[in-house]
Amino acid sequence: MPNVIFFTSLAPSTAALLTQSAPPDFAVTVYPFTLPDAEKITLLQDADFLILFPGRLNETVLRAAAHLKLIQLVSVGFDGIDLALCRELDIPIANNGGTNAIDVAEHTIALMLAFYRRLVEMDGAVRANRWSVLDSGATTYTIHGKTVGIVGLGKIGQRVARLLTAFGATIIYYDAYPPAAAVESDLDVKRVAFDQLLQTADIVTLHVPLNTETRHLIGARELTLMKPNALLINTCRGPVIDEAALTATLQARRILGAALDVFAQEPPLPDNPLLHLDNVLFTPHIAGVTVDTWPRRGEFIFANLQRVWAGQAPLATIEG
């Protein structure tokens, strides 16, 4: 019987939505992510599989888990895992296979609409009995007719593209590792150079993993290239944007604004100057988190564990 350990910060009732997909012959035990390292080490010595949410593990614990057949992440991001050490220990790592793409893509569209239609401000105005104060006709926008630049056309970026098609947007994209030509044709998207995307797009939305290539992918130079009426969306990882450069750009109102689900430091410090600007909209790193996402992730995770237990290669592995 496979021994599966699940370290998580999820509430027990939420974790149960994920583990309900476990096969009856899998022994799955859920522990809080805050468990002391010494206890984690003891638990992992005889474990066959480790499921992680959040996807972080320090070197001491990882070295003690050298007999694992797979580290299975519940999230798509892998920046909290030492990939080089996992290679050394010959432990494969898999992410969630894009099973949160639906959730992140819908949240991305929600951020676009919320910023463009000033929904937070509108709600506040109605509650404060300021019914006719807002000149919305001069300060709200439609996605229809806009050019949207998608940076990163993986599973999430592709689903964002599909949703945007229904809004009547023109879609361009940049990806250092583009998908097959058939995907581009199916989505009716055009690949352009990174700088051209920044110069052309009315909305720039980021969907890349955090690694050495993408850290501060959007910095002062890139922000200078963007149109004065451009909106920047980030639902991937905070450090993909140079926050200091973005703050200066927003303070000077050199772009229309930004909508951010992620920060360089989470949660952000109260004195983070971004929090005091009126041309940026925030959510607390929840783009991929819905009630519906956990069963979907669980189905993929336990199907992946079954593959490995049966001697097959895991899906959605991460190469360091």
| Residues with a known catalytic role | 237, 266, 285
| Cis peptide, bond prior to residue 54, ω within 30 of zero | yes
Tokens at residue 121, please?
Answer: 């401000």
- Taking the alpha carbons at both ends of the chain, their separation in whole angstroms is 30
Q: Produce one character per residue of 144-180: b if its CB has 16 or more CB atoms within 10 Å, e if not.
A: eebbbbbbbbbbbbbbbbebbeebebbbbbbbeeebe
Sheet containing strand 3-8, strands side by side: 27-32, 3-8, 49-53, 70-73, 93-94
> According to the 3-state scheme, what is the secondary structure of 55-69?
CCCCHHHHHHCCCCC
A 10 A CB-CB count for 128 gives 9
Burial class (CB in 10 A: 0-12, 13-18, 19+), 196: middle
Q: How many CB atoms lie within 10 A of CB 188?
A: 11
- According to DSSP, the residues that pair with 191 across neighbouring strands are 173
